[in-house]
Structure 1
Amino acid sequence: RSETVKEKPSFKSAYASRRCIIPVDGFYEWRAIDGQRSKQPVFIHANTGQPIAVAGIWESWRDPTDNSEASAPLRTCAILTTEANSTIEPIHNRMPVILDEEVWDAWLDASTAMDQLDALLAPAPDDVVAWHEVSTAVNNTRNNDSSLMLPLEASEKSSETLF
């Protein structure tokens, strides 16, 4: 959560000096359907069709229980989220922080002032992202290919909601 990243002990040091940009084609959320227990997966992507630059922080640490010289550092990252814009809000109340290209240098520069960074954590403008329903095949972790991002065809919509 971008609102608390400066306060949480596990994140504040990374926010101050170890920021990164995570490029993504988009991300999935599951939209509630009136009168149904199941949710419909949707793929959220940039209106331009280009990858999205998501704000992240990173950390490098060693397992404190492994004192061997050969222990390799573990590198981890986290995506910062913010309140949803009005495009995403009907689906979910949060969304990743999306960075416009003109602020990438400031985001990555460890000397950027905190108040300038904080201003970058706002929800993306409503017209930056779009979404479409996708197949429930995305729910199975064995499925992992780009077809999962394709829009659900009208004929598929009716057959997926029959049962």
Structure 2
Amino acid sequence: MNSSSRAMPISCCSALSDPKLQADRRRNMINVRSERILEDKKSYWYRLRKQRCLIPVSGTFEHRAVKGWKKKVPYFTGEAGRELFYLPGLYQWHETVDEDGVVERVGSFGMLTRAANEVMANIHNDGPNKHRMPLFLPEDLERQWIEDINEEDMPPIFRFEMPNEKLKHYPVYTLRGYPNRPDGKHRYEQFDWERLPPLGSDTAQTSLF
């Protein structure tokens, strides 16, 4: 998860004329650190605090680093007992211009994240944003997120930590490209990596890659 703690506002004219600024603006909306939304009342995220949305997902993916392996192992994570659930987010509208000079109104949104629980800390264990996880919520807090709530109602939502046992998680074969799996199953089904150490033990004796 390439989380961004703060995105700086840019002028409409600059955003319209510079594709790089447009791309940077969209990239900054990918993930939102929930604990910082109310932290700085001059921040970009604070200004978006009332533009709340829910993102429907069947699960999320993250890579786990294993010492001694050249490549990271991809994992699927979802909510136990829920085939479809919703992640809280913030959205915005902005204008872009294509190569023909046509101005379009485009929407973007960011997924809220928080500090990882034990399971996710062991999966998302590497990289500049390690030990982060999506802000998984139970159904009642999902509904509350898009209701007309006040600022004082938000911190309990931000602090909610999904219990380990409420998450389903397993390694998959790959998230990149469409190679044929050795077992012939769908790419996102569970894959049993040979000699993969259990979560919390990230040292392997032999490289498989």
In which range does the TM-score fall when normalised by the shorter chain?
0.7 to 0.9
**C-alpha offsets along residues 1-46 of structure 1, whole Å, 9 cap, x if unaligned?**
111123363221221x110110111111111112223111111111
**C-alpha offsets along residues 93-136 of structure 1, whole Å, 9 cap, x if unaligned?**
01111221112332112x31212111101222222212101002
1:78 counterpart = 2:110: yes
1:100 counterpart = 2:166: no
Give the structure 2 partner of residue 115 of structure 1: 152
1:44 counterpart = 2:81: no
C-alpha contact (below 8 Å) 1:46/1:52 kept by paired residues: yes
Q: 2:43 aligns with which of 2, 5, 9?
A: 9
Give the structure 2 partner of residue 33 of structure 1: 66
Q: How many residues align?
A: 152
- Partners of 1:63 and 1:29 lie apart in 2 by 31
Letter aligned with residue 60 of structure 1: W
Gaps of 5+ in 2: 1-32, 125-130, 180-184, 196-206
- Partners of 1:106 and 1:158 lie apart in 2 by 43
The 3-state SS of whatever aligns with 1:89 is helix
Q: CA deviation at 1:72?
A: 2.4
**C-alpha offsets along residues 39-83 of structure 1, whole Å, 9 cap, x if unaligned?**
11111111114223111010012249xxx8x62211000001001
Give the structure 2 partner of residue 20 of structure 1: 53
- Partners of 1:104 and 1:47 lie apart in 2 by 16
Give me the identity figure in percent: 23
The 3-state SS of whatever aligns with 1:149 is coil
- Point out 4+ residue stretches in structure 1 off by more than 4 angstroms: none
125 and 158 in structure 1: CA distance in 2 versus 1, 3 angstrom threshold: closer
Letter aligned with residue 123 of structure 2: I
The 3-state SS of whatever aligns with 2:64 is strand
Letter aligned with residue 190 of structure 2: P
Q: 1:135 aligns with which of 173, 176, 180?
A: 173
What is the CA RMSD across the aligned residues, in angstroms? 2.7
Gaps of 5+ in 1: none
C-alpha contact (below 8 Å) 1:83/1:95 kept by paired residues: yes
- Partners of 1:83 and 1:51 lie apart in 2 by 23
1:147 counterpart = 2:179: no
